Chain A
Amino acid sequence: MSGPLIKARGVALSFGRTPALQGADLAADAGEVLAVMGPSGSGKTTLLHCLAGILTPDSGEVHFAGRRVDTLGETERSALRRDRFGFVFQFGQLVPELTAEENVALPLLLAGTRRAAALKEAGAWFERLGLDGLERHRSGELSGGQAQRVALARGLVGRPEVLFADEPTGSLDSLTGEHVMDLLVGAARERGTTVIVVTHEPRVAAYADREVIVRDGKATPLTARAGS
């Protein structure tokens, strides 16, 4: 093992005068499922966004696959997010004008895959996630659980190395949320995808290999990384 796939070191970021992160450290190995927990406003989503190259920290470093992320320009970070990362948010955030199938295919289309090939690849996810027959539905015609499974397929379709999930079950009831987590973790483990899931729900965190807790902008590991 050549060290973690993704890590943050001493990451600090303020919004105006309000500090969101104050020297947060976090590392995840390839294939690891890591839960980031913490109270509301503790900085866990901000930390996720820094790791994913959505936000640039004021200080500290973010590394992915041995490469600095925080010093990259917007174009390079954008390419990184598109080609190597996947995302699932609390509210699926599907594009309402597109069908479910087109939503899933979106990362592939943006990466330059031909439409027919992208739709074929996307279509394969529908049976797997129990969404058969919903390919042509738009997001307004899907239940919360269905929409979130479509979002999950969209997050994984590009075979990302890291899947970032921010409260992926936050808008779902217990049973549906559980189903989504089962599928998310199952699919990620099958592919060796690293998952960083932000959650305030212990039942969601229990799907992870270990947890870190973010308090006052700092991350504390609750359980040691395997082998460390």
Chain B
Amino acid sequence: MYRRDVYIERIVLDMSVPFTLLGLLEREPSHGYDLKRDYDAFFGRGKPLPFGQVYATLGRLARDGKVVVGEAESGAGPDRKRYVITERGATEFETWLTEPVEAEPHLQTVLFTKVVLALLLDRDAGGYLDAQRAAHLRRMRELTEIKRSGGLVDALLADHGLFHLESDLRWIELTTARLDALAKEVRS
């Protein structure tokens, strides 16, 4: 069953929390609490970033010279330290931001493996592809519903999932149309 938090976790957290925090700091120096609040608002729906992870990540960024920690502000609690992005942090963030993410057709590899194995073993590859198509469409329905009922940021994320699932589906369709020829080739 699709869950939004799972999707966010897979897609957004993979983008890397450190770079996301650097990006938020690129706007303006911030306290850890503010970073967490903004992170959760933009990226954390259904899966807030734990405070521990915020401070551990900021600690590593400070260690690596990508942020500096300001003096604790007087009269404030433990959270009143302000974090500022460094030149190095800004440069790395800029590079990361403009770099295309590696196209990783992991799912496609699994689908491919299952189809080839099914054909090799004379199993029902078409039945498997239909089941996969139904599963893809089910998830697309869930994402479409999120788009219909949510805001634009939800739609942005849902669209990412929808387009990827759609491209898998096109591959499934083409493979289904080629199954007989594929079976001959695989078994020859």
Give A26-49 as 1s and 0s: 1 = Cβ < 8 Å from B's Cβ atoms.
000000000000010000000000
Query: Is the beta-carbon distance between A202 and B165 smaller than 8 angstroms?
Result: yes
Residues of B within 8 A of A208 (CB): 141
Whether A120 is near chain B, meaning CB under 8 Å from some CB there, is no
Mostly, the B contact residues are: helix
- In the complex, whether B148 has a CB less than 8 A from a CB of chain A is yes
Give every chain A residue within 8 A of B64 (Cβ-Cβ).
none
Binds A, one of B52-60, B107-115, B128-136: B128-136
A202 touches B130 (CB 8 A): no
Expressed in whole angstroms, the Cα–Cα distance for A105 and B138 within the complex equals 37
A-B interface pairs (CB < 8 A), number: 39
Q: Which residues B130-188 have CB closer than 8 A to chain A?
A: 130, 133-134, 136-138, 140-141, 143-144, 148, 162, 165-166, 169-170, 173, 177
Assembled-state Cα–Cα distance A186/B149 (Å): 11
**Given contacts A182-B148, A202-B140, A203-B162, is CB(A222)–CB(B177) below 8 Å?**
no
Given contacts A39-B177, A182-B148, A207-B144, contact A202 B166 (CB under 8 A): yes
Identify the closest chain A residue to B140 (Cβ): A206
Q: Establish whether residues B143 and A206, one from each chain, have CB atoms under 8 Å apart when the complex forms.
A: yes
A202 engages B169 (CB within 8 Å): yes
Contacts of B140 in A (CB 8 A): 202-203, 205-206
User: How near does chain A come to B165, taking the closest CB pair, in angstroms?
Assistant: 7
Residues in A neighbouring B141, C-beta threshold 8 A = 206-208
- Please classify how large the interface on chain A is, using the bins under 10, 10 to 19, 20 to 34, 35 or more: 10 to 19
Of B137, B138, B162, B177, most buried by chain A (CB within 10 Å of CB) is B137
| Interchain nearest-CB distance for B144 vs A (Å) | 4
A-contact 0/1 string along B59-103, CB 8 Å cutoff: 000000000000000000000000000000000000000000000
Q: 16 A-B pairs, CB-CB below 8 angstroms? A: A182-B148, A201-B166, A202-B136, A202-B169, A203-B140, A205-B140, A206-B137, A206-B141, A206-B143, A206-B144, A208-B141, A213-B133, A220-B130, A222-B134, A223-B137, A223-B138
Which residues from chain B sit less than 8 Å from chain A, CB to CB? 130, 133-134, 136-138, 140-141, 143-144, 148, 162, 165-166, 169-170, 173, 177
Shortest beta-carbon contacts, A-B, top 10: A206-B140, A206-B144, A222-B134, A202-B169, A202-B166, A206-B141, A223-B134, A203-B166, A211-B137, A207-B144
A182-B148, A206-B141, A222-B133 known; 20 new pairs, CB 8 Å cut-off, are A39-B173, A39-B177, A201-B166, A203-B140, A203-B144, A203-B162, A205-B137, A205-B140, A206-B137, A206-B140, A206-B143, A207-B141, A207-B144, A211-B134, A211-B137, A213-B133, A220-B130, A222-B134, A222-B137, A223-B138
* A contact set with B: CB distance below 8 Å: 39, 182, 186, 201-203, 205-208, 211, 213, 220, 222-223
